[in-house]
Every structure is written in C-alpha cells, then in structure tokens.
C-alpha cells in the first residue's frame, strides 16, 4: 500500500533537490530560500519537495541533516527516493568520499530513529509524465551497481565500478516505453539538460542568470542571492540537478510546464 507522505493529491509546484551528503547548512539554506516571497513570486508556490537521494555520507553532519529533512517533512509534503550512498550506508557497503570525521559521525547514528526516513523508500517516483530517480531509469535486475540509484548518465554505456552507465537515447527509450516524457535525476553533482527535439537529442546549454530584485527587495531582510536557468518542458527532457551541498548548493523547481535549475550563490 502506498504511504500517504510519498504521494501528493494535487501537484503544482515542486522543489527538487539531490545529493545533500550530510550538509545540514546547505539544506537549511535551501529551506530559507524557498520560503522567501521573492522565490515564490518568481517561480511559484511550493506545494511539495522531492528528495532525489543521497542525504548521507561525505559530509559530517548526518544527524543535523536528517533532523532538518524531518522538519521540512512537517512543513511540506515530501517525496523521497533512494540514493546510492543511502543504499550503501543502510547496507554496510563501502564507498569512497567520506573522511574519518564523516565516517565516525555516521556510525553514531547507525541505530538512530532518524533513519526511519529511509523505511520503505522507493528507488523512483513518477507523476505528470516525469520520472524522479537518483541515477537512471533502466530496469537491469538486482545487482547493486545496476540498481537505479547507482546508474549514471554518460556518453557510453556498459557496466562500471561506479555504477552502470547509460546514454541519453537509452533513457528516452526507457521513458517512452513507460508512457513518460521527462526524467529528473541527480547523483553526479553536475547539472545537465538533454532535450529530444525534431532534430534529435541535443544537450541544451544552461545559461544561469541572477534573480533580479526590486529596490525594496534589495533593502529587505531577504539577503539571499540566487541564479537560475529556466527550461520549457515542451519536448521530452532529461534534467539532472547539481548537488545541494557546499558553498553554492543547487536544486530545481518545476510546475511541469517548465523546469528551473537554481543555484544559491550567497546569503544565509
């Protein structure tokens, strides 16, 4: 049976983030950003959040990160899908990228009730013709590196020690076979947009522009500065968001007619 918190009755505007990697500061900055009147005036109302996975590993604030996500779950409707680092942490698999401090702090939450957020977390979720998944859309069996949370978008295809690599044409074929048009993923920490046009599949350059502020807004308490690149969803599209961690956390917003890639460049 579907869990109520995993599905929305009515979808209009979704904030999509991925690869927080135990960076509670970054997810707090995202929360602050989407609450501002300037954000909602520019992009639209935030009806829900989609977490594309990898809440854990690499960073050194896993407890604070999970607490922040749990708090957001009380404020917004939240859908989460499993990331490869989440999968590795829950199953005791070794992966690279975590220093001793990160490893120690993750072990401290090994038996924490905060981990209940991962209970029955699916590999994917879809709505309004869009697939939300951490890595990729292919059904390749149960081998770890072929799971959807481990798959990686690439120019070549085949098995790899980092996870199965798939190409954009393979992804579009998989979406078409399921009656879907778009896919939103994370995993690789770098944003990318591929569109299936009449001329073929093209990678669309993302040109980020600063979000303009009125004189009054510049003087207001909303000190956060963001950049964004908006893409129309008028053709089938692959939308990979950058990682929501570090000094310039990235995320996305969609109302299913457009998709905005968003980057916080300054401010708390």
For the chain, the structural domain boundaries read 11-266
Model pLDDT, residue 122: 97
What's the rounded Cα separation, in Å, for the pair 22 and 37?
Answer: 27
Under 8 Å between Cβ of 65 and 31: no
**Sign of the C-alpha dihedral computed for residues 262, 265, 267 and 268 taken in this order:** positive
Give residues with Cβ within 8 angstroms of 86, minimum separation 6. 53, 54, 55, 56, 118, 121, 149
Closest CA relative to residue 82, chosen from 27, 45, 113, 122? 122
**How far from chain centre, in Å, is Cα 83?**
10
What's the rounded Cα separation, in Å, for the pair 176 and 180?
Answer: 6
Closest CA relative to residue 241, chosen from 133, 141, 101? 133
Assigned token pair, 54 = 């990898």
Under 8 Å between Cβ of 168 and 153: yes
Choose which CATH entry (3.90.1150.110, 3.30.1540.10, 3.60.21.10, 3.40.47.10) describes domain 11-266: 3.60.21.10
Q: Name the percent of the chain in helix, strand, coil, to the closest 5.
A: 30, 25, 45
Inter-CA distances, 117 with 34, 52, 131, 157, Å = 22, 13, 21, 33
Assigned token pair, 48 = 């829900």
For residue 204, give the DSSP letter: P
Place of tokens 């939300």: 132
Per-residue pLDDT of the chain (268 residues; tens, 9 = 90+): 334 444 555 567 999 999 999 999 999 999 999 999 999 999 999 999 999 999 999 999 999 999 999 999 999 999 999 999 999 999 999 888 889 999 999 999 999 999 999 999 999 999 999 999 999 999 999 999 999 999 999 999 999 999 999 999 999 999 999 999 999 999 999 999 999 999 999 999 999 999 887 666 666 655 789 999 999 999 999 999 999 999 999 999 999 999 999 999 987 6
Assigned token pair, 216 = 């009054």
């Amino acid at each position: 049976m579907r869990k109520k918190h995993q599905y929305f009755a009515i979808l209009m505007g979704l904030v999509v983030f991925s690869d927080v990697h135990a960076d509670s500061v970054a997810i707090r900055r995202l929360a602050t950003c989407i609450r501002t009147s300037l954000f909602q005036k520019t992009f639209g109302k935030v009806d829900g959040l989609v977490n594309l996975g990898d809440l854990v590993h690499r960073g050194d604030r896993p407890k604070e990160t999970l607490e922040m996500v749990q708090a957001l779950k009380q404020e917004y409707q939240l859908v989460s899908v499993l990331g490869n680092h989440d999968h590795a942490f829950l199953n005791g698999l070794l992966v690279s990228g975590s220093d001793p401090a990160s490893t120690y702090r993750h072990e401290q939450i090994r038996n924490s009730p905060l981990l209940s957020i991962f209970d029955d977390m699916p590999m994917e979720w879809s709505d309004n013709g869009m697939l939300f998944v951490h890595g990729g859309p292919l059904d390749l069996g149960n081998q770890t590196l072929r799971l959807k949370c481990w798959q990686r978008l690439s120019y070549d295809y085949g098995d790899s020690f980092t996870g199965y690599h798939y190409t954009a044409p393979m992804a579009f074929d998989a979406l078409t076979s399921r009656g879907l048009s778009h896919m939103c993923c994370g995993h690789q920490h770098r944003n990318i947009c591929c569109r299936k046009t009449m001329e073929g599949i093209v990678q669309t350059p993302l040109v980020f522009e600063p979000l303009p502020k009125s004189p009054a807004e510049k003087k207001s308490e909303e000190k956060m500065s963001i950049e964004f690149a908006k893409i129309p969803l008028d053709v089938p599209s692959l939308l990979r968001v950058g990682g929501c961690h570090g000094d310039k956390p990235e995320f996305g917003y969609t109302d299913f007619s457009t998709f905005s890639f968003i980057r916080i460049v300054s401010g708390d």
